[in-house]
Each structure stands twice: as structure tokens, then as C-alpha cells.
Chains A and B, each alone.
Chain A
Amino acid sequence: MLINILIFCPIVAAIAGLLGAPARRTALLASLINLAVALVAVCSYDKGGPAFQFVYEHGILPEWRLSYLVGADGLSLLMILLTAIVTFSAVWVSPPVERLEKQFYACLLFISAGAMGAFASIDLFFFYAFHELALIPTFLLIGIWGSGDRHAAAWKITIYLALGSFVLLLGLIGLYQGVPAALRTFDIRGLQELAASGKIHPASANTIYLLLLVGFGILISLFPFHTWAPRAYAAAPAPAAMLHAGVLKKFGLYGLLRVALPLLPNAARHWTHLLLILLIGNIIYTGLVAISQKRLDMMLGYSSVMHMGYIFLGIATLNTLGLNGAAFLMFAHGLSIAALFAVAGQLRKRTETLAFEDLGGLAKPMPFLGFVFGLAAFASIGLPGFANFASEILVFFGAFKSHLGGGWHFFGFRLATVLALWGVVLSAVYMLRAYRAVFMGEVPSRWNNLPDLKFSLRWPISLLIATLLFAGFFPRVFLAFLAPSVKAATFRETL
């Protein structure tokens, strides 16, 4: 029941808004309700109980074993919490919308509902379908309310993601058909049992995993498929970028953790090297590209692509430390990138440009924005005290000690870890340079009287930063319910 509220509250609010209820207030109320419900769910989750709790099932096609089946374990709860927090702050920091206000909030709410549904689905079909709920709203958000080269960016992200999701669909169909006809099911729990007893056809497993990796990879902006992300995030209005980069992109990673690894562990091992090479591309290549950016929004876009590399590294390790780190980093990165895009959106609203050469010294007229941007940038680099640090440490330790099979594998992981550590230096370089270019130095005279963030708008950004700090200082609070689920979901005898 709790989960149904989480999914349908935004949808109802969106429809109410479209039908004439005050759009902003309805959206805020719905996201506040969702935040509260998510917190209740996290608190009432029984760590000793079964993996999936709050389960609700409604049969759709019994003969296909397809049903609307939602529930949450520790991993999905963490993602649901992330969605609720980011949605709430994204709706709150939304600037006044002049054109088609109802539709704007409806789009945001639909993206949120889609993400919630995807994270809460235990049924493969709805897991996939809910994610796609966000596709058209994203297209509209960027195309109507975006800035700069918004039309090209909207087309690119939409068609790229549509293509990726159909590749993913093929992988999921393959997975469903990979077991003998009598046992086929869309229930992820059922599939896990089948996988554990070796019922998934090993011959097709490698192909299916590759399809899933490419499909999810496109959605996550894995290295050669990442070009849609920076432009889209740069052009998107701030709340859309927050939701997409912070929450929606995590769907692919969540899918790898929830579907690909537990069901096809041997295939995952088979493709580890490919993944290592691609993720180094994410970290090093995209990191260098981020350094060369001349605009804050593009740089943030590339930084978000780059950080996916660390999460991939955690996933590639296939061990407890790394996977927990990856899951936790998804949470941390979602919060920090959302905070960064929120600040960038506020800057754009005031200065109408985000090019580094036009900005400078803005910490003087806007001390609060400068302060939170600094904190979020530190978090993004991975400084201790923030959740990003705690999770990256787990990823690196996990990767360094990963030695599947020994030999070349061992070497590959060592090498990848070392290169990924250099990535931290890269992200420090571009983040600090951006900070200097935007907030330090001489203030151009025309920016002298820019107003700082309104008091009421400080809350949502502070909420993001506070959560990051809390999770950085007390990671055990989260790992306590995350770790058993990650273990249960991904650790079978086969691993």
C-alpha cells in the first residue's frame, strides 16, 4: 500500500494539476507526501524480515505470469528515498513558469512517478514500462522550457534513450524466454530462484547480458553511448536536469544490480573486461573532456557522465564491498549532482549565461549559493565527510581486492582501480577550476548586485546537502538495510 501511494500520488497530482488545481502547490504537496511516505517506509522496513516487503500484487496476465507487482527491499528503498528527496527539492526550486505551467509540473511529477514505479517494481515488465513513463515528459521539459540549444538536445536524448530502451527490451525478452516455457515468469524473485537453480539457459546468457549491458548502458551514459547526456543536461531546465541526472539515470544501474547481475552472474563475469575498458573510458576520457569545458552546465553534464564510471567499477567487482559501494554511490551521486544542477539553475536565472569567461567572483554577491556549490562540489569530488567519499572508498577497496580467477583478471582490476583513482584527481581539477571561475576572483561590475538565494529556496538545496553529510558521517544507517538486500539479491553460490 505504501508503495502504491508513492507511485500514484505524483500521477494523481499531475492529473489534478492538468485539470486546474493550482499546479505548483499540488506538486509540492504531492512530493512532500511522498517524502514522508518514503521515510515511513524506510523506518518501518524490517531488516530481519523477507527481502521484499510492502508487496502488493495485482494479476494482469496470469498465463504469462505477468502482474503489477511492487514492493521494496533495502536497495529499492534507498533508491525510492533518493527519488523522494530529489523530487521534493526539484519541485521546490522550480522557478516561476511563464508558459504552460500546468504541463511543466505534470511533466516533473510523471518523471518522478516513473522512477518510483521502476524502482519499486518486482515485475520485469512494469520495471521496464515505468521507466519509459519519463521519456515524453523529458522531451517536453527540455524542448519547451529548456535553454540554449534545447531542440537538438531534446531530440538527441529522446531518440537515443528510445533506441536504448528497445535494446533493453530485447534483453528482457531474452531473459524471459531464457528459461523453459513452463517456468517463465516476469517476477524477479521467481527468476532469481530459477537462476539459482541453474534453469536459465547458459548458452544464451552471454548474449542476453550483452543486450542488457548495452541497453542499460545507453540509459546510464556508459562510455561510447554517453553523448546524449551532457548536452541534454545543459539544455534542460534545472529541475528536469536534477531529476534526470540525479534519479532517472540511476535506473540503468539499478537494473544492472537488480536484474543483470543476480540472474546472469557467469555472463557478468564473462563481460567484465569489456565493462572495465568502457568504464575507464567513462572516467578518464569523459573526465578530460569535462576539464576542457567552457561552460558550467556542460561541465556538470560531463561530470555526471564521468561519475557513472565509479559506479560501474563497483558493479564490475562482483563482490560485497564493491556492490554496496556502487549502490551507495548511486544514492550519493544522485544527491550531489541534483544540488549542483539546482545551483547552476539559480545562477542561470540570474546571469543568463553559464560561460566561465563571463562569470567570476559571484561568492561575494551570493554567499549562500557559493557556499552550497562549494559543498556540493566537494561532495562530488569525494572529500571525506560526504556520502560520496564513504561509497567511493567501498568501491575502490572492492575493486582493488577483486581477483576473480586471478591472473589477468587481477591485473585488469588493479589497473582499472589505479586509473579510476586518477579520475578523482581529474574531478578535483575541473570542479575546483569551475568553482574558481564562477565564485572567486573579480566580480564583473554588472553582477555586483545580484540577489542571493531567497530564504525559502535555501531549504531544498540544504536538504540535499544535509542528507549527503548525514550519509557521509553515518553510512551505517543506510548500509544496515542496504547490505543484506545487496547480498541477497546478488550473491548466490555461483558467484
Chain B
Amino acid sequence: MIPAIYLEAFVLTLGILLLLVEAFSGKEDKTPLAWMGIAGLGVVFILTFFTANDPTSQAEAAYWGFYQADFKALFFKRFALLTTIVVLIMAIEYKGVVQKYIFGSKPQAGLGEFYALPILTCAGLMWMASAVDFIMIFVSLELVTISFYILVAYMRRNTRSLEAGVKYLILSALSTGFFVYGITWVFGVTGHTNLGQIAAALPHLRAARGALMFGFMLVLVGLGFKIAAAPFQLWVPDVYQGAPTPVTAFLSVGSKAAGFIVLMRVLEVFLSVPWMVRKVTTVIVALAALSLLYGNLAAMPQLNLKRLMAYSSIAHAGYLLIAVACIGEGGGAELAISFYLAGYLLMTLLTFLVMIVVANHSEGDDIHHFNGLSKRSPYLAFGMLVAMASLAGIPLTVGFFGKFLVFYVAYERGQFLLIGLGVITVAAGFYYYLKVVQAMYWREASDKTPIRMAPLTKGTIAALAFCIFLFGVYPAPIMRALEPPPPDTPRMAAR
């Protein structure tokens, strides 16, 4: 058993090592760096299963109360590692495009950092999963965000990528400002930055309730930006479309998951105070409703798949927020959120992976570039079909089980407004996800050349598709990873 804190240390070391190797190696081909990264992260992923997760002994005493390695934290660390591994696989497949927009002295100049930076981001995501102190949350959030500043604008001769970079930089900095400002208000009222201590202080709070609320709302704004919830979604479509596709995938999965885990940890504290519950819930219901409507409706007319995925990301933030609005006693909502995110990881990464391969062979990633894919590559078409079916929420896929859990907790907590909106927007979702299926199967391709891909990519697509079905039918492994089953009494019964 190794302490959980080593995991981040390994990942960070790996990232720095790769940067060093990159700097000192004269080798032309940078792809081995990505291979090393994938292998290293794979080893750390395996190590997470041999980690001591004993929240009681580690939470308070160790690391100045900054760090907690409970089941949820470990789950999201694995989540970050898996995402990064797939993102690196995508990056290998995508290197041609990146090279096109970077003219260095050597053909592969600049590619090394493209493989190393995601690993540093991964370390940030992993720290965020364990952070239980506002300072720690802020620092790890910044580690993630700053690496994203670079990654989003990575293709520096591509105006779209630059535009995306500038937009992301400005709006992200603004939201970080809100976040820090909110922290100072909370600190000012309670005198603590540690979530546990804040929770202990809140029940005795008599004065300055308004100030606390104000601070919390500012924190919520900052997090709303990270999870791409409406009305903080303005940056999403342009940044998603402009960024290199692997980075888009990373943003939509990693950044969102990190936002949600912090949101869960923060809400756990603030919802423990009775007088805040109603107000906070109302705000979150409003965010959820807006995200559902905006994301789903705006996705419908999209013609570019990356842009469509951007709006779909907003829509999924909406579904996740339905569950967030139901956080309370029982813990069913947190299970739903984590499960939904796990499913979202699988299906979104699968979509982007297929998209990269297809875009490499079609000079673009508009939906019409997928026309007749069922003929050009039945394999890719089927992979995309699985991803789209799961995103739309068709049963026996992991996406459906996530939606099922979300609706389950919403029904239990009586959030009927959100349920109604959810059902209507799910139908809208069927339209725009199946639009891709329509292009692949109904339409004829203009370009009939068959598509070839690397064996690793092929294997990853198969693995992701398989997991989508596996966890859609047999969700137990994910649920066990989140919370071990109690010895004998059924969990539902215990509530």
C-alpha cells in the first residue's frame, strides 16, 4: 500500500521528466515521448488500486488538512489518468495537424510539449480531486487552467486556435477572479479556508449571512465557468472549435469533471446549513434549467461536429446539475453525478477519437464530412454510433444509466420542473446526436477512400465502445469504486 499523495508526485515527475528528455534529446521523432507518457500514466493508474484510502486517518492530520484521499477522490484520480491516457493517444493521431500549424526548425519541433503538458494538467486534476481546502483547490485549479492556456492556443499559426486561446485566457482569468474573490469573502466571514473547518464554523454563524451567501455565489460563478454551465457558457463553442481536438476532448471531460468534484465538495459544506439550502438549491435549479435549454436547443442547428459537442457539453452540464440540485442526505445524488461523469468520459472521448481519425482523412470535422462513413469504415461508423447512442441516452449504454440515475434522484427529491425540462431536452438530444448517425448511414460519401488508422487507436475505440456497453448493462464496478458496499444491509434500505 502506498500513500495516495505519491500518485500526484509520480505524475508530476513523469511530466517534468518528459520535458527534460524533450529538451535534451536530439531525436527527430517525438512520438516515443507520448508512448512514455501513456506507459507512465498507465503504471500510475494501476498503482491507484494499491493505494491506502483511509479517509479518517489522513483527512484531518496529514498535509495541513489540504488533502483527502477518500473513495471519491481516488475515483476521480483514476478518471483524470484515464482521460489523459486517451488524450495522449489522440494527440499521436493528431500530430499531423499540429505540425501543419507550427513551423519550427525541425519537422516535429514543438510536438514534445504537446505530449508533456497534458500530463501536468493531469497532475492538477488529480490534486483537485483530493483538495478539501480552498487554497489547495485554487492552486490546483490554476495548474490545470494555465496548462490549458497553452494547449488551447497551441497551433500558433492557426487563427482559430489563437482566437480560442485568447477567449479562453480572458474569460478563464475573469472566472478565476470571481472564484478567488468569493474565497476571500467566505474566509472573511468564517475565518477559515479549510472546507471541514468552514463546515464546523457555519452552524455557529449568527451575523454576516448575506456576506457568506455573496461569497458562495461568487465561488459558484467561478465553478460554473469550469463546468460550462449556462449562463457562463459563452466561451465554450468558440474555444471547443478552435482548440486542437485532443485538447477539446480534454477540456470537455477533464475540466468539467474537475469542476464538478469541487462543486460537490463545496456544496457538501454549504448545504449542511439549513438556512442556505433553499436559496442555493434555487440558484442551482436555475443554472440547470438554463444549461439544459440553452445547450440542447443551440446544439440542434449546428453543422460542425466539434461545435455540436460544445453545446452537447453544456447540455450534459445541465443534466449533471439536475443531480447537483438534489444533493442532500442519502448521497444518491453524488453517486449519480460521479457515475454520469464516468459515462460522459467514455462516450465523449470515443466521439473525439473517431472525429480525429475521420477529420484526418476528410479535411474537416463538419458533420457532412461523416457522410457515408458506414461505407468508408464500418468500424469507425459503428464506434461513432455507439458514442452517439450513449450520449443520447439509449438504454444498455452507460449514458442511459447515468441519465437514469439523474432522473432517479430528481424524482426522489421532487424536482419536477427539472424532470420535465430534462425529458423534453432529451428528445431534442436525440435529434442532434442522430444527425451524425444520419450522416454516417443514410448519406452517400463524396470521397470513398477507405480510412486506415493506427492499431492503438483502433484498440482504444474498441475498448471505449466495449466499456460503454459493459457499464451500461453492469454498472456495479463503477458504483463499487465510488463507495464500497456495506457488509450486508442493502444500501437503498439503509436510507
Instruction: Using CB atoms and an 8 Å cutoff, list the residues of chain A in contact with chain B.
Output: 18, 60-65, 68, 100, 103, 128-133, 135-136, 139-140, 143-144, 151, 155, 158-159, 162-163, 166-167, 169-170, 173-174, 177, 181-182, 184
| A128 vs B407: C-alpha distance when bound (angstroms) | 15
Contact between chains at B492 and A63 (CB < 8 Å): yes
Smallest CB separation, A128 vs chain B (Å): 7
Which of A62, A63, A129, A159 is the one whose CB lies under 8 Å from B400?
A129
Known: A143-B442, A163-B426, A166-B393. 6 other contacts (CB 8 A): A18-B378, A60-B473, A65-B490, A100-B441, A133-B395, A136-B437
Interface code B394-427, partner A: CB below 8 Å = 1, 0 otherwise?
1110001000100110011000000100011011
**A/B pair count, beta carbons within 8 Å:** 100
Please name all residues of chain A whose beta carbon is closer than 8 Å to the beta carbon of B490 when the two chains form the complex. Answer: 62-65
Indicate if B438 sits at the interface (CB-CB under 8 A).
yes
- Beta-carbon nearest neighbor of B485 in chain A: A63
Instruction: Give Cα A174–Cα B414 distance, bound, in whole angstroms.
Output: 11
Residue numbers in A under 8 Å from B389 (CB-CB) = 136
Is B357 an interface residue when CB atoms closer than 8 A count as contact? Answer: no
Among B389, B423, B431, find the residue whose CB has the most chain A CB atoms closer than 10 A.
B423
Given A103-B374, A166-B427, answer yes or no on A60-B396 (Cβ-Cβ < 8 Å): no
Q: What residue in chain B is nearest A207 (Cβ atoms)?
A: B416
Is residue B466 contacting chain A, with contact meaning CB distance below 8 A?
no
Give every chain A residue within 8 A of B476 (Cβ-Cβ). Answer: 60-61
Which of A132, A139, A182 is within 8 Å of B395, CB to CB?
A: A132
Closest residue of chain B to A131, judged by CB? B395
Across the two chains, which residue of chain B brings its CB closest to A182? Answer: B493
A64–B469 Cα distance when bound, in Å, is 20
CA distance A65 to B479 in the complex (A): 14
Cβ-defined contact, B394 with A136, below 8 A: yes
Instruction: Report the Cα distance A184→B424, complex, angstroms.
Output: 28
Whether A162 and B493, one on each chain, are in contact in the complex, defined by CB atoms closer than 8 angstroms, is no
Nearest CB of chain A from residue B327's CB, rounded to whole Å = 18
With a cutoff of 8 Å between Cβ atoms, the chain B residues found around residue A174 in the complex are 411
Distance to closest chain A CB from B426 (angstroms): 5
Contacts A63-B492, A162-B426, A181-B493 known; A170 to B434 CB distance under 8 Å?
no
Query: Please, which residue of chain B has its CB at the minimum distance from the CB of A155?
Result: B431
Contact string, B451-495, partner A, CB cutoff 8 A, digits 1/0? 000000000000000000000011110010000010000111101
B492 touches A60 (CB 8 A): no
How many Å lie between the Cα of A325 and that of B306 in the bound state?
53
Instruction: Report 29 cross-chain contacts, Cβ distance below 8 Å, ordered by A residue.
Output: A60-B474, A61-B476, A62-B485, A63-B492, A63-B493, A100-B441, A129-B395, A129-B396, A130-B395, A132-B394, A132-B396, A143-B441, A143-B442, A144-B442, A151-B438, A151-B442, A155-B431, A162-B392, A162-B426, A162-B427, A162-B430, A166-B407, A169-B404, A170-B411, A173-B404, A173-B411, A177-B411, A182-B493, A184-B492
Considering the complex, give the chain B residue whose CB is closest to the CB of A146: B442
Contacts of A181 in B (CB 8 A): 492-493, 495
Most buried by B among A144, A151, A170: A170
From B394, B408, B438, contact of A173 by CB (8 A): B408
A18 CB contacts on chain B under 8 angstroms: 378, 382
**Given known contacts A64-B492, A182-B493, is B423 in contact with A166 (CB within 8 Å)?**
yes
List the A side residues contacting B375 at CB < 8 Å. Answer: 100
The B interface is mostly helix, strand or loop, or mixed, namely helix
A140 to B490 CA separation, bound complex (whole angstroms): 41
Residue of A whose beta carbon sits closest to that of B385 = A136
Contact assessment for B475 and A60 in the assembled complex, using a CB-CB cutoff below 8 Å: yes
The residues of B that contact A128 with a CB separation of less than 8 Å are 395
> Which one of B385, B400, B492 has the highest number of Cβ atoms from chain A below 10 Å of its Cβ?
B492
Q: How far is the CB of B146 from chain A (nearest CB, A)?
A: 41
Contact A143 B395 (CB under 8 A): no
Instruction: List the interface of chain B (C-beta within 8 A of A).
Output: 374-375, 378, 382, 385, 389, 392-396, 400, 404, 407-408, 411-412, 419, 423-424, 426-427, 430-431, 434, 437-438, 441-442, 473-476, 479, 485, 490-493, 495
Shortest distance between the CB of A474 and any CB in chain B (Å): 38
**What separation, in Å, do the CA atoms of A128 and B394 have in the docked complex?**
11
Q: How far is the CA of A202 from the CA of B358 in the complex (A)?
A: 54
Ranked 4 nearest A-B pairs via Cβ: A129-B395, A132-B395, A163-B427, A63-B491
Question: Residue of A at shortest CB range from B491?
Answer: A63
Question: What residues of chain A lie closer than 8 Å to B407, measured between beta carbons?
Answer: 166, 169-170, 173
Contacts of A151 in B (CB 8 A): 438, 442
Contacting residue for B396 out of A63, A133, A144, A163, CB 8 A: A133
| Measured CA separation A135–B388 after assembly (Å) | 13
Does B479 lie within 8 Å of A61, measured CB to CB? Answer: yes
B335 to chain A, nearest CB (A): 11
CB closest residue in chain B, given A142? B442
* Nearest B residue to A163, CB-CB: B427
Q: How far is the CB of B449 from chain A (nearest CB, A)?
A: 18
B-chain residues with CB within 8 Å of residue A140 when the two chains form the complex: 437, 441
Chain A residue contacts of B474, Cβ below 8 A: 60
Contacts of A65 in B (CB 8 A): 490, 492
Contact status B423-A158, CB under 8 Å: no
A129 / chain B contacts, CB cutoff of 8 Å: 395-396, 400
Please report the C-alpha to C-alpha distance between residue A430 and residue B180 in the assembled complex, in whole angstroms. Answer: 73
CA distance A129 to B473 in the complex (A): 9
Which residues on the A side are within 8 Å of B475 (C-beta)?
Answer: 60-61
Whether B412 contacts A159 by the Cβ 8 Å rule is no
Q: Considering the complex, give the chain A residue whose CB is closest to the CB of B440.
A: A140
Bound together, the chains give a CA A140 to CA B430 distance in angstroms of 14
Contacts of B394 in A (CB 8 A): 132, 135-136
Across the interface, which residues of A come within 8 angstroms of B473, CB to CB? Answer: 60, 68
Residues of B within 8 A of A155 (CB): 431, 434
The CA of A159 and the CA of B393, in the complex, are separated in Å by: 12
A93 to B426, CA, bound (A): 36
Once bound together, how far apart are the Cα atoms of A355 and B485, in whole Å?
Answer: 63
Bound-state Cα–Cα, A100 to B424, Å: 33
Output the nearest chain B residue to A132 by Cβ-Cβ distance: B395
Chain A residues within 8 Å of B374, by CB: 100, 103
Chain B nearest Cβ from A356, distance in angstroms: 29
Least CB distance, B432 to chain A, in whole angstroms: 11
**Complex: A143 Cα to B444 Cα, angstroms:** 12
Chain A residues near B385 (CB-CB < 8 A): 136
- Docked Cα-Cα span, A131 to B492, in Å, equals 26
Q: Give complex CA distance A155, B286 in Å.
A: 31
Give A290 to B400 CA distance when docked, in angstroms: 37
B485 touches A103 (CB 8 A): no
Interchain CB contact under 8 A, A170 and B395:
no
Query: How far is B409's CA from A64's CA once the two chains are assembled, in angstroms?
Result: 13
A127 to B209, CA, bound (A): 50
Q: Which A residues touch B393, using CB under 8 A?
A: 166
Residues from chain B with Cβ under 8 Å of A130 in the complex: 395-396
Residues of A contacting B419 in the complex (Cβ-Cβ under 8 angstroms): 170
Within 8 Å CB of A169, what residues of B?
Answer: 404, 407
- Shortest A428–chain B CB gap in Å is 38
Neighbouring B residues of A132 by C-beta, 8 Å:
394-396, 400
| Interchain CB contact under 8 A, B427 and A159 | yes
In the assembled complex, the Cα of A159 lies from the Cα of B473 at a distance in Å of 23
Contact present for B411 and A159 (CB under 8 Å): no
Q: How far is the CB of B297 from chain A (nearest CB, A)?
A: 14
A177 to B407 alpha-carbon distance, docked (Å): 12
A139 to nearest B CB, angstroms?
6
A492-B240 Cα distance, complex, nearest whole Å:
58
Of all chain A residues, the one with the shortest Cβ separation from B374 is A100
Q: Which residue of A lies closest to B428 (CB)?
A: A159
Q: Kindly state the separation between the CA atoms of A130 and B479 in the bound complex, as whole angstroms.
A: 22
Q: Which of A68, A131, A144, A163 contacts B441 (CB 8 A)?
A: A144
A143 x B438 contact (CB < 8 A): yes
Contacts of B392 in A (CB 8 A): 162
| A128 to chain B: closest residue by CB | B395
**CB–CB B395/A158 < 8 A:** no
- Tell which of A60, A62, A133, A166 has the most Cβ of chain B within 10 Å: A166
- B-chain residues with CB within 8 Å of residue A62 when the two chains form the complex: 485, 490
Is B412 a contact partner of A177 (Cβ separation < 8 A)?
Answer: yes
Complex alpha-carbon distance, A133 and B382, angstroms: 15
